[in-house]
Homo-oligomer: A and B are copies of this chain.
């Protein structure tokens, strides 16, 4: 509980001035004589001095940290993004201030503003836009305010508000999913959708719907949460109402894993009787049984890229770094059997 040792103490102890100590620490300004330097360095070591970042930040007006607002840090999806952000940040010598919004839109905005008070260099939001007029307006205002203050804001998921994003083309994934299943002979689909209010989800479903329409295929949707639970129950409901469904498209892997489990309990063989296709390629997708076929989304890169965008020069509100989702073929998708 003893007090913080400051640069002043070091200067006193080394018998020199504050300025000199600072110059030595930051290796800036004119060269320092070897004797003085070593005297100061031993003083630093003896006193165990560590610079106070708050003071540094205050003085230099540029902070060594960035902010991250994540929707649910315990979810693999966001965890992987968070990893990308924190690691990329740390290679740049930056700290990450992270807040978990518990899937509360108001809180997400609140946190963005709070982070700005901490003088972060930029704020990254990991969580797709909420399809909601009020949210959109708030987000827009918040982004404008932060930008005006010199704080950049990047999203790791599509937003309905014009702002820089590092994410995938979600509707392309939906289209691709439908195309892929259609080619295997499937004509009746179950779509296991996450929240309708989630913009990423909406885009995936729209993409799928578009392709299904073009192919003249039938599809039925169940909307719920992005959870195992939802996949587990939805698959049963959908199959009861529409027994001719032969393939499921889950808009996220969590849902798909639940679906796999649900189908197994119903005695349906995957992929012989029913195919299941996910999106995300979370770490465990490889170890489900059967192993999940899915689209790999480079979450880590979303996060890492967002950090890079904060620092790499010119950024307009329509700057968009689109990734592509690669289809990972495993075992849960197969040809439709007559």
Contacts and interface: CB of A to CB of B under 8 A. Distances in A.
A281 to B, nearest CB: 13
Contacts of A22: none
Most B C-beta atoms less than 10 A away, residue of A52, A73, A97, A118: A73
Contact of A96 (B99, B116, B119): B99
A287 B97 contact: no
Given A119-B52, A228-B283, A73 B63 contact: no
A100 B83 contact: yes
Chain A interface: which size bin? 35 or more
B113 A87 contact: no
A264 interface: yes
A1 B52 CA distance: 26
A51 B58 CA distance: 12
A4 B102 contact: no
Please tell me how many copies of the chain the complex holds: 2
Contacts of A61: 4
A42 B99 CA distance: 29
A286 interface: yes
A258 interface: yes
28 contacts: A1-B150, A2-B149, A3-B150, A4-B119, A4-B149, A4-B150, A52-B58, A53-B118, A53-B119, A54-B57, A54-B58, A55-B58, A74-B79, A74-B83, A86-B98, A86-B100, A87-B102, A90-B99, A95-B99, A96-B98, A228-B284, A228-B287, A257-B284, A257-B287, A260-B289, A261-B289, A284-B284, A288-B289
Given A54-B58, A74-B283, A76-B76, 9 more contacts: A48-B145, A50-B116, A50-B117, A54-B119, A74-B76, A74-B82, A228-B287, A257-B287, A288-B289
Interface of A: 1-4, 48, 50-55, 57-58, 61, 63, 65, 72-76, 79-80, 82-83, 86-87, 90, 95-100, 102, 113-119, 145, 148-150, 228, 232, 257-258, 260-261, 264, 283-284, 286-289, 291, 300
